[in-house]
Each structure stands twice: as structure tokens, then as C-alpha cells.
Amino acid sequence: MNVAQDLSFLALISNAHLIVQLIMALLLGLSLVSWTYIFRKMFAIRAARRQTEQFERSFWAGGNLHALHQSASSNRDQGGALARIFEAGMGEFVKGKAATREALDVGAVLDGARRAMRAAFQREIDGLDSHLNFLASVGSVSPYIGLLGTVWGIMNAFRGLASVQQATLATVAPGIAEALIATAIGLFAAIPAVVAYNRFTHDIDRLAIRFESFVEEFSNILQRQSR
């Protein structure tokens, strides 16, 4: 009964070497922060996908572009990324036509609208990509941090055997188990971060393709309206 109690997770963590405990605490902190970013990013991407679908339905319904532009301008925070891209392009198009009313340079106006949409596109993608580098770092570094704790714990376990006349499995097991917990916590922090990073990267790439397609299609619409 005492052996089972001594080999419980809480007992092994509390009896581990101070360095190993600090490494475990670091890994648990990284895991907590990564899970916070995972949930925040999951909700952000889900909202971006929903807002994109809503705006695409409104845009392709064939309504007035100026009315849609006014609606997107008055609801910038709730409209979504694609609505802000449209607002940037349409706003630049309207200002460009007003500035060149007497001698309309269609090419310059369309280039300005396209550049405005590209700049808005980059801002939106950068916002969606935020904190993904942290998840990638946690996924790649956490196993090595856990391995460092394991190596340190095993080293201390074997050093403790120097004062024991006869080494048995019961003597070695607690020290080895303490050390292996660090690797387990490192994997616990790394695996969700890697899975989330790959999933979010894929979702953001799909949204980026939809944004780029909209920029090209809307540029064609503006070009037809300028004739």
C-alpha cells in the first residue's frame, strides 16, 4: 500500500528534484497558455468563417454596392474580415473616382482599389495568424524540455544509488518514475499544440483563398462598372 502511495503522480511530483519540479511547472504553464490560445483561435476562426459566409450571401445577392459599403462601414467590428476587405476596396474606388472626376484614369483607380484590398487582406490574415507561432514553438520545444527534466531526474536517481549497498527495482523505480513524468507532461503540452497549429493553419489558408478569390472577382466587377 505504501509503495502504491509513493508512486502516485502527486507524490512523485512532490518528491521530485527541485529542477525537475521547475521544469514541470514551466511545461504546465506552457500548456495552460497554449490551451488558452487554442480556444481563442478556435472561436475566432469559427466567427471569421461564419461572417465570411454571411457577407458573401449579402454581396452576391445583387444588392446595391454603395448601400453594402455603407453597411460594412457602420459595422466594421461585426462585419468580419471579408466585409472589411470589401470596405477598403470600395472606399478607395469611390475616393479615386471623385479625385479624378474630370479626367478619369480607370487604371489608376482600379489599381488603388486593388492595393487597398490587398493591404486589408494582409491585415486580416496577420490577425488570424496571431499566436500560431507560439503554438508551433510549444509543439516543437516542449518534448525537449520534458526530456531535459527526465535526464536530470534519472541522473539524480542514479547518483542516489551510490549510497545504497544493494540496488533493487523498488529502489530505482521512484526516481525513474519521477523523471518520466516530465516527459509525459512535455508530450501533454506538445501534442495538442501541434494538432491545433496544423488545423488552424489549414483553416486560415482556406479563408485566405476565399479572400483572394473575392479580391479578384470584386476587381472585375469594379472594372466593368468603370466603363
Of 63, 118, 109, nearest to 86 by C-alpha is 118
Give the pLDDT of residue 8. 65
Q: Are 20 and 146 in contact (CB under 8 A)?
A: no
Q: Measure the CA–CA gap between 86 and 68, rounded to whole angstroms.
A: 9
Residue with grid cell 536517481, as numbered in its chain: 157
Show the beta-strand stretches assigned E in the chain.
Answer: none
| Helix, strand or coil, per DSSP, at residue 52 | helix
Each domain of the chain, given as residue ranges in start order, spans: 2-225
Of 212, 211, 220, 226, nearest to 81 by C-alpha is 211
**Mean pLDDT by groups of 10 residues along the chain of 227 residues:** 52 74 92 96 95 91 84 82 92 79 70 92 93 94 91 77 62 72 91 96 95 92 78
Of 25, 164, 191, nearest to 174 by C-alpha is 164
- How many Cβ atoms are within 10 Å of 62's Cβ, its own excluded? 7
Q: Measure the CA–CA gap between 117 and 99, rounded to whole angstroms.
A: 19
Give pLDDT tens digits for 39-63.
Answer: 999 999 999 999 999 999 988 887 7
Residues 226/77/63/215 CA torsion (nearest 10 deg): 40
Exposure on the CB side of residue 208, measured as CA atoms within 13 A: 15
Q: Measure the CA–CA gap between 48 and 9, rounded to whole angstroms.
A: 41
Give the pLDDT of residue 1. 38
Q: Measure the CA–CA gap between 45 and 51, rounded to whole angstroms.
A: 10
For residue 161, the 8-state DSSP code is G
| Helix, strand or coil, per DSSP, at residue 193 | helix
